[in-house]
Structure 1
Amino acid sequence: MNALRTPDKRFERLLDYPFAPHYVEVDGLRMHYVDEGPSDASPVLMMHGEPSWSYLYRHMIPICAAAGHRVIAPDLIGFGKSDKPTDINAYSYQSHMDWMQAFLEQTDLQNITLVCQDWGSLLGLRLAAENPDRFRAIVVGNGMLPTGDQPVPKAFQLWKNFALYSPWFPIARIINAGSFRTLGPDERRAYDAPFPDKKYKAGARAFPKLVPVTPDNPASAANREAWKVLEQWKKPFLTTFSNGDPITRGGDRYMQERIPGAKNQPHTTLTGGHFLQEDSPVEFAGAINALLARLDESDQT
């Protein structure tokens, strides 16, 4: 397929992003990921969503790595330093699943703690359900695994139409609008860095239309099968939603009721908008570290 690769110079001297690049090849495409912390530690897989990239986790990666965890933060195909197919039809829910499955197999990650938000949850929760032996725990902030059987918030429908039809799709401004705090100019430059012009944005525009919003969506059946696994999931499942996200509001309670591993977990509500990694990164990372400390202590007793 025809794909673009953002020039490396676009990523030079980004604020608070000193991480060395790592790459794997999936389906002929180069996929980038951050890999920080002890190489022999159990991995924390931080998955971003729409329309961000691993830069979203820049404040959380060092906190979790300093606590002794190996932190892996991939850029989904079409985002960040990963290759970007130019045809919007090259992107489907299943193609993203296949790319991430290939990533898991090539890196051979085991004993994973999944940390996910937005589309990172749509992909990550499916990955965990389809590869349960690889995963140790799950932490979800502002995310869900929809099947098309539940009502969709009006805010999402508006967002979907904007992504598909607006001639103007300003990545950094979108992320700024979804955060409580105001991003600085260097941060906005970093979020715009992967997308030199509109030809690079097909993946970002595609994501909203791929969310299953009807029961007959091509991904709905697979997501229902994933829910069958999650409804039997007894490993730790922690929710860390924010108090200001109109799109995913209430999803935390829904998952707490349906997933056994959520029982008796110290679920928390963080301050922030949709991009809670921008608004409460220290608290978000602290919740992850606290969960893993409890798990490590339990393993030793």
Structure 2
Amino acid sequence: MVLLQNEGGLLPLQQDLKKVAVIGPLADSMAATEGRGWSSAISLRPVTVLAGIRARLPDAAVTYAPGPEIRRDIPSWFESLMAGETRKPAQTPEDAEVAFQLAMDSARAADQIVMVLGETDLMAGEAASRACLDLPGRQEELLKAVAALGKPVVLVLLNGRPLSINWAAEHIPAILEAWEPGSEGGHAVADILFGAVNPGGKLPVSFPRKGSHAPLYYARNLTHSPEGSRMYNPRYWDGLPTPLYPFGFGLSYTTFAFANLRVSAAQVKVGDAVTVSVDVTNTAQWPETKWPSSTSISVGAAIRARCAN
């Protein structure tokens, strides 16, 4: 899992929370949690995010509201291959509005809100390309309405591909990308949300600002001229060409300070070796950190250690 955002240190959440609202169409979805792929049915009973949070907070009032349902506009032919799978009739606009308002009622009564949004298991994978990478259905509308209440909101994403979450990245303080976390996914998400585990994942892909930005290569120049040059011109005139979250991005609860940068030589010739070292100090307040408080390590040694693992 990848921690995309944690403004103000909202995460990890406190264990003494009394009123928590878990909201979203995927919050209690076993299929979206496990990610069925080619399997014809859910073989186990996966732990959903809702179940994981309730297990973590046995004495709290944890309410749940799915909000309006989400579904593919064009059905997947995989649905006909799933044993016992029947495509349910679409939710009526009236029923969707009732579900929307019930979610808002749940949010208003809570002290902490966890939104679980993204894509269902059948929205990603083979035969599941999308023209747009925005959150499907009315999910972003619900997210905006809940955020407008002024209460602390954590966004957990369940999805099989990068999504365009520009509004959320600007307005939601804490965002955890959980992908399709598997059978014990709900417990794993709760472990991270409440600080039992430090999120250490890094993005294996770039998150584009819009679906039209794809393909978005992390190792290629995205403009006609290098950025900073006199002739620099961005790829698009109506928006930035850079990704919302770049390849390799990922935060953690641990913070570091870097000082005393040292280089073994002021000048080097082509082919010569140079040693770079720096003092790294762990400045985190997170109580579960297992790193030493201070150490000195060369960049080369850090790279070698990283590659060895």
Larger Rg: 2
TM value normalised by structure 2: 0.32
| Greater helix fraction, Structure 1 or Structure 2 | 1
TM value normalised by structure 1: 0.33
